[in-house]
Chain A
Amino acid sequence: MKKLNLSKDQIQKLALSTIGFIVLLYVYFSFFLGPLNKSRNSMMVSINDLQAKVAGSKNEMTKATNLENQASAATTRYAALTKASPEGAPIAWFPPRMKIFFSNQQIDKTTARLEGSVPYKEAELSGWTRHNWMLDLPQTDFSTLGKAIAELENTEPLLSIHHLNIHALPEDPQFQQVTLNVATAILKR
């Protein structure tokens, strides 16, 4: 093989060409192709992300529509239950409501006293408060009371009687005095 005899001048030129080549590669990859690829990759990631979101959104909307159909009974029921809690402080409307209710059941002079209110432990009932009331029915007879309680339990679904005390009036045993401790679930307004 023929040995390549390069002069000093030629070696210098060769070294200069090599340096130029290296600089060219560096500039090309660092300032041209690199940023272009980086931008392309980030755009691809964004496209995939958005496409996944768009595909997911179709599912989400279908799910919401199905849920809307399935929940129609629950929403109607919920609307009916919330309707039982009028605007304003419960102390303002619950005692008069009870007074009118028992008056319609032929039991007069009913009084309702708020004993306390506590939040529910259940996370689902975070918007509701349990109010404990004492209802005092000073004079009634047993059958009227039974009918009134039946009506109360049927018309006030969010009310539960947790203590009941009936005792005959000493001066007139035909009539009884009744105390009811009730709890009501009332929507926070």
Chain B
Amino acid sequence: MALHLNLLHEEFQEQRQRQRDPLKIGMMVLGGLGALMFLYYMWNAYQTLGIRNRLNAVQSDWSKVEPKVTSAQKRSAELNSIIGTTKVLDGMIESRFYWAPFLEKLSRCVAMNAQVTSVDGTVLDDNRGVNVMIEGLAAGREPRAAAEELRQLLLEQLGQSYHDVKVEFKTLEDLDTLVKIGGANMAMARFSVSATFNPTATGKAAATTPRTPKK
């Protein structure tokens, strides 16, 4: 067997050591990794730029729409307020008590032989009801009957339009004075009638045939 002598083994070992230098390998790895990271960063930056462009476009859209939206919101609030106020005012208007129809009914109940001297009416708070005090004079052969007729007529008339109607005498007293009606002397009575009713709900129509005052 031939003997081989490697006189360059030291050079070879140095070369191998240079190739296996951890710092050099590390730097190469770091460089590669750095390049990858840079590429990844650039990709992200590119995407971010795209997003920024989208944001600018959306902001531009919004800046065009915003004044219109603000004014629309303002107008909506204003309209809602108007609708609410009108609704409440209409409720107040519809729920108020109308005195004219009541006075018309009262005038229908007063016969020739009766005279109303005072009417005092009050609408209770929140339109819960109406109280009316009616004072007057009735004349006739039986003046109390004339006053009673007025009371019953009033009860009937009010019952046609209102609810929970009560018409009651507070006072009914004969007077000494006589009055001439149709050439005949008639006795007189002073009466005071209290009428209470609820105008908010329509009352049931009176079952009996409507009466008319005797003229």
Contacts and interface: CB of A to CB of B under 8 A. Distances in A.
Contacts of B152: none
A37 B44 contact: yes
Nearest to A53: B62
Given A50-B58, A164-B119, A6 B88 contact: no
B59 interface: yes
B44 A36 contact: yes
B55 interface: yes
A159 to B, nearest CB: 8
A13 B51 contact: no
A81 B62 CA distance: 39
- Would you call the interface of chain B mostly helix, strand, loop, or mixed? helix
A128 B116 CA distance: 39
A60 B96 contact: no
Looking at chain A, what size class is its interface with the partner chain? 35 or more
Contacts, number: 185
Interface string A57-69: 1001101100110
Contacts of B21: 10, 13
Contacts of A164: 99, 119-122
A101 interface: no
B86 A74 contact: yes
Nearest to B23: A13
A69 B53 CA distance: 39
A61 B99 CA distance: 46
A77 B107 contact: no
Contacts of B116: 168
Given A14-B22, A64-B75, 16 more contacts: A13-B21, A21-B26, A21-B29, A28-B41, A36-B44, A46-B59, A54-B58, A54-B65, A57-B68, A74-B79, A74-B82, A128-B85, A146-B107, A161-B97, A161-B99, A163-B121
Interface of B: 21-23, 25-27, 29-30, 33-34, 37, 40-41, 44-45, 47-48, 51-52, 54-55, 58-59, 61-62, 65-66, 68-69, 72-73, 75-76, 79-90, 92-93, 96-101, 103-104, 107, 115-123
22 contacts: A18-B26, A20-B26, A21-B26, A39-B48, A43-B55, A46-B59, A47-B55, A54-B65, A57-B72, A63-B72, A64-B79, A67-B75, A75-B82, A77-B86, A142-B103, A142-B107, A160-B92, A160-B97, A162-B97, A164-B99, A164-B121, A167-B120
